[in-house]
Amino acid sequence: MNLKQLEVFLAVVETRSFSRAAEATFLTQSTVSQHISSLEEEFDLRLLDRAGKAVFLTEGGKILLEFARKIISQAKEVPLAMKRFKGLEDVFLKIGASNIPGSYLIPSILPLFTARYPGVSLMVLQGDSRETLDHLKKEEIDIGIIGALFDDKNIEFKQLGQDKIVLAVKGDHRWAREKMISQKEMMTERFIIREFGSGTDKTVHEALAKAGIDPNQMKVRANLGSNEAVKQAVAHGMGAAFISEISIGREIARGDMAVVKIRGLAISRCFYLITRRKRDLSPPAQAFVNFMMEMLGGDRPKGIKS
């Protein structure tokens, strides 16, 4: 069965004539008859009854008619849908993002993107950096934005900008008014840390190890699954935490939290836009990639206030 056979079948039904169906489909009458015969042979059912020059549907033909109309109608919509897709009209884009990009980076540029491409609707799926990478590899998202670099030959990483990871404490913490503390003093405090797999956790562990500090010697009070949860724990005085600078600007301005400098230790990381290597991006996905590279180039993402 193919679309042409269904089109001919519909033409015969609508004109109630093989000859008129041949005229409507620009085929010979014998070709029309061959298409109908092929359908009847495939289903092993008579689809049409011939009474002289008139044609009538059998009960089996009525069932095929119901589906044929739906199939042909949807087939006619395909070219229009593809044109809309190419023209970024009424299209849907699935994006994955780790905690910080999903909570702060994307929301800050989303109004600008939708203003430029009003026909593109976005769905953002959040998780940690490792989860976002896995979502992309399983093709559950079109593009991802994460805060860590992974060794994966099947994924392409595009650097978007840099983010500082700072040591944050409650506003009235004993370190809040200190200009700087030593690495040894830092290790006396209890820490709130992110879950394994987060970009922040990966970056902090690598930076501490590079500075000669064993991350496993840190006194961990709690291990939490989101940046917001870590912020709340620090704001309630549970301990100190290494946290993205762009996520605590309001808390610092209100005096709820303070940033503590550590002698000989500065931590920063890049955000990365990730796509599947050697795979063509859809038009809306390519538009999003181009827009993100335009907006988030340089050392610091544009439009992000800390």
Query: Lowest-confidence range among 102-111, 128-137, 240-249, 297-306?
Result: 297-306
What DSSP designation does 28 have? -
Top-level class of domain 91-160+270-295? alpha beta
SS3 category, 212: coil
Residues 6 or more apart whose Cβ sits within 8 Å of residue 41: none
Q: Model confidence over 30-48: pLDDT tens digits?
A: 999 999 999 999 999 999 9
**CATH number of the 3-86 domain:** 1.10.10.10
Residue ranges of domains in the chain: 3-86, 91-160+270-295, 163-269
What is the structure's pLDDT at 300? 41
Are the folds of 3-86 and 163-269 the same? no
Nearest to 258 by CA among 168, 193, 188: 168
Q: Model confidence over 160-210: pLDDT tens digits?
A: 878 899 999 999 999 998 889 999 999 999 999 987 778 888 889 999 999
What element of type H or E holds 200? helix 199-210
Nearest to 166 by CA among 229, 85, 249, 286: 249
Mean pLDDT of 277-284: 87
**With 50 as the cut, is the pLDDT of residue 127 above it?**
yes
- Contact (Cβ atoms closer than 8 angstroms) between residue 166 and residue 111: no
- % of the chain exceeding 90 in pLDDT: 53
Mean pLDDT of 114-127: 89
Mean of the per-residue pLDDT values for the chain? 88
Residues 6 or more apart whose Cβ sits within 8 Å of residue 85: 91, 282, 283, 284
β-strand 219-224 against 190-194: which pairing, if any?
parallel
Residue 85, exposed/middle/buried by CB under 10 A (0-12, 13-18, 19+)?
middle
The position carrying tokens 């109630």 is 16
Nearest to 87 by CA among 246, 247, 287, 226: 287
- Pick among 3.30.70.3270, 3.40.50.170, 3.40.190.10, 3.40.50.720: CATH of 163-269: 3.40.190.10
